[in-house]
Amino acid sequence: MNRSRLHIYYSGRVQGVGFRYTVKRLANGFEVTGTVRNLLDGRVELLAEGTKEELEAFHRAIQDSEVGRFIGNEEASWNEATGDFRGFEIVR
């Protein structure tokens, strides 16, 4: 199984609306590992690893969720998975 890493910076009104908690809850429905955290500049950073298909479905689920309407912009990049993560966590 070929694993990839998806790295997304979300901007818009993505802090203070339950964005990280929604992403963590959604992650439970996918075969993905990673982290989500607030950044000091008001963006949210997502790092997730899994198969490309799972990551694409996870990404769509975030966009289609109740917090999707708060996303103003996404900066996404793809890389090879590093295997650094165990589970999916909110980083503070």
Residues known to be catalytic: 20, 38
Q: Which pair of structure tokens corresponds to residue 21? A: 């908690």
Question: Which tokens hold the place of 48?
Answer: 């997730």
What CA–CA distance (Å, rounded) separates 41 from 2?
Answer: 33
Q: Where are the alpha helices (DSSP H) in 1-92?
A: 19-27, 52-64
